[in-house]
A and B are shown apart, each in its own frame.
Chain A
């Protein structure tokens, strides 16, 4: 009992750095904002009543939830099989596929939104092609509607879904599937009974992450959606721009936060849910928090049991008897998903070589002038360099403290874990503009407005959330008994962590660090507030460019961001391949 308590205390201790950063930079001002929305010190809910009395607000809240649910569902339906197929692929192909899924991430979100306009627009790629071949006589209305909104949103969120699922699925022991099949389970049954239940914690946290981020979208609805396709953040953003009425902005934001909390509790807040088999039994008996997904799986399982029993005799275990249909189907699916994910990046790269003075597709002529415009301007490459430095610092800081926190949280009691998870997820749950305002006050308190340290801290707030979610998901599949085994062999806690835990959760940590870096590298709203007009990052420069000019320098920058990391990765792969062919026996890898 004492050891358990001690373990929980260490758990909290490990989460402490995250909590300190969160509270100082963001927590205190956020609480102040909350008190303001409650009219402290008089305390009343009149602001909330007024918010809900406006029919437009109620409708937009419902619409925000609806859009987020549909976008998340679409990501899950497409993302799960994709992630599964990626994990099932041979190692080298798997790495290539993972890199391909990551590429859209590297192409700035702003540039990708432009690319969708170029693809779906009235005189865009698709309409031009169809008109040219005489299939249609007037442009199809592909853009400025709900469908275009979903296309854009899913495009932004799908890589996150796939990458989180991949990092979890890589942690699932493949031999369990083989074992199930050796006992006569057909592939699909083995998948349903063994693999799928093991992947549920990952599905849950990835879905949660995607849903919560969807709630805060506003650039995509404004540029791809129709007049009525707005989300709550669009309303808040326009209030911030014109009246900057802090109270109603705060009220709206806490409504959004409340929605996120409700959803988090329905899906089960416990990001690092089932730990080992022993922990699972007592959790089942807890009826306090029924989980929708758990209920669904259970009922489906029970329903199919009788059916399976009949089939058992007919289909004994036959290795490699998967049939051609699923295999072809899988390939087609992966191909379609990759086309969808990569098309905007390709469009951006092609646009960047345009010789025209505005963004157009296809370009009327080819030239390198927009690359010259980038490299000939200190403002551009200076901003790129600043962003790189800040991004690395953010990734480093948030990966370290985020991993510690996720590891610590996995050792605390489920209830405490749930609460702290909400706290840590707040920065990506509430509208980014409110995070920005809160950070502004927090950093002003520390005298850090307009400094790089300030920008790094403000960006780390959100980056930490990503790291914690992904590492927690990986930890959910981590067998705690391996640590106990190591410790029984007299390994110290630090040694156990470094030699056993760390290698096993490495995919999650790498995924988290990547997301943290990208978060920093694509962040506009918070940075523009806390930079105090003194620190110019690349996204700020790009945003400024997009607001004022429409020249393709933006496309050139986005292409460089896409292509350079790819070249680097290819280089790495070549080096890696050489060193691997020299090695006598396979290097033990956590990923397998």
Chain B
């Protein structure tokens, strides 16, 4: 069984061997060698527009560095391919915390140079936002959402995940996040529904998760797997009680959908700004991330797109009514659980991470 122990390392060496074998001649990227421009992955859609307006444009105005937004999906696969092929065509990207940790484990990221930051700003950073390989970008959450036509305020409605699981008392069409990617899934919700106290969730008991999911499985109309999918579902009005990202729910509410967010037992997670290893413009990339994480900058971004700032200084510039919409509002934070990315990337005795285990269990479970 020595093989099993070494599988992970073996995989890493072989996959880099493939990349190296395929690349005897090329070094450095042909199209974007070190230059006075910066290619930043900004997601897309409304959030992409907000990042361009509030971060990229002002930085370009301040420094004269030409900022090029990239709105295509930036996945772990793409990051790994470009780093291994030494052909890094993205200088800065936003990445969800579990993916940041995975990328860090695989050695795909540059260290963040915190010596560039003002002490005052650094003191404002929430703890997780000061990762060695990623500076906090934004905070978002998974929430329970009510259709107010079915569950209006003032009438009894499911207040927590245990009640969401109670289909007799609270009938209706339910949507829940799918777990196919392992990193995001209804895991914490399933444990809370099964009676685990919110502060005792980690380390998670995978068997218990799936035993709890068994109970709700026949009652979920759709297990959604992307933000646009759940937004579409919420706006079509077919669902009665569902799980969604807070940002997508707010967007649907802004578009007139009769929805309300339940902040109780919300699952909070965050994204980091990261720099791919071997980035030819890392100096400018470091400068940009420092700029983008300043409190006042985050505040202007939050005004265009309501996600939580990772720098507490931002709240000095955010009006109270807007602050109430954010997952970081103190009252909400007190009832939320922070997602523990560290548990997800933990490697067990069989050489596999918890993410890999969750994916495998999920795949078996959906086919049962």
Chain A residues at the B interface, C-beta cutoff of 8 Å: 28-29, 32-33, 36, 39, 46, 54-57, 59-60, 63, 117, 121-124, 139, 144, 222-223, 227-228, 230, 234-235, 238-247, 357-360, 379, 437, 440-442, 444-445, 447, 449-451, 528-529, 531-534, 536, 540, 543-550
Contacts and interface: CB of A to CB of B under 8 A. Distances in A.
Given A144-B221, A358-B232, A447 B76 contact: no
B229 to A, nearest CB: 7
A534 B89 contact: yes
B39 interface: yes
A543 B71 CA distance: 10
Nearest to A433: B77
Contact of A123 (B25, B26, B29, B237): B237
A549 B235 CA distance: 13
Contacts of B238: 121-123, 139
A548 B82 CA distance: 23
27 contacts: A29-B18, A123-B237, A230-B363, A239-B359, A241-B76, A241-B181, A242-B181, A243-B182, A244-B77, A245-B356, A357-B255, A379-B71, A437-B81, A441-B22, A444-B19, A444-B87, A445-B22, A449-B29, A449-B30, A449-B85, A450-B29, A529-B77, A533-B89, A534-B31, A543-B72, A548-B48, A549-B45
Contact of B18 (A121, A240, A441): A441
Contact of A56 (B15, B73, B221, B367): B367
Contact of B90 (A139, A533, A548): A533
B228 A548 contact: yes
A450 B30 contact: yes
Nearest to A230: B366
**Interface residue tally of chain B, by bracket?**
35 or more
A245 B120 CA distance: 41
B231 interface: yes
A441 B85 contact: yes
A445 B26 contact: yes
Contact of A54 (B70, B217, B220, B360): B360
Contacts, number: 196
Contact of B367 (A63, A358, A360, A379): A63
A450 B76 CA distance: 18
Given A36-B14, A247-B14, A529-B77, A123 B236 contact: yes
A579 B179 CA distance: 61
A227 B26 contact: no
A440 B366 contact: no
Contact of B235 (A39, A241, A450, A550): A550
A241 B77 contact: yes
A535 to B, nearest CB: 10
B61 interface: no
A544 B78 contact: no
A139 B237 CA distance: 12
A53 B336 CA distance: 39
B148 interface: no
Nearest to A440: B81
A444 B367 contact: no
A246 to B, nearest CB: 4
A60 B72 contact: no
A258 to B, nearest CB: 20
Given A54-B364, A540-B72, A548-B45, 10 more contacts: A54-B360, A56-B360, A56-B363, A122-B236, A240-B75, A243-B353, A358-B235, A445-B26, A533-B39, A549-B45
Q: Summarize A's interface: helix, strand, loop or mixed.
A: helix
Contacts of A235: 363
A445 B25 contact: yes
B80 A441 contact: no
Contacts of B363: 54, 56-57, 60, 230, 235
Interface in B281-340: none
B44 A547 contact: yes
Given A29-B22, A450-B89, A549 B366 contact: no
A109 B235 CA distance: 23
B344 to A, nearest CB: 10
Nearest to B103: A244
A121 B238 CA distance: 9
B232 A359 contact: yes
Nearest to B71: A544
A228 B217 CA distance: 11
Given A123-B237, A230-B367, A437-B77, A242 B87 contact: no
B220 A532 contact: no
Nearest to A141: B221
Interface string B242-286: 000000000000010000000000000000000000000000000
Contacts of A36: 14-15, 17-18
B180 interface: yes
A547 B75 CA distance: 13
Interface string B198-228: 0000000000000000000100111101111
B237 to A, nearest CB: 6
A10 B48 CA distance: 55
A144 B236 CA distance: 15
Nearest to B12: A246
A528 B73 contact: yes
Contacts of A39: 10, 14
Contacts of B82: 532
B99 interface: yes
A540 to B, nearest CB: 6
Given A223-B229, A241-B77, A359-B232, A533 B18 contact: no
Contact of B15 (A60, A122, A247, A546): A247
A445 B45 CA distance: 34
Contacts of B231: 358, 550
Nearest to A114: B232
A124 B236 CA distance: 8
A117 B232 contact: yes
Contact of A548 (B3, B11, B227): B227
A29 B228 CA distance: 35
A242 to B, nearest CB: 5
B308 to A, nearest CB: 19
B15 A549 contact: no
B183 interface: yes
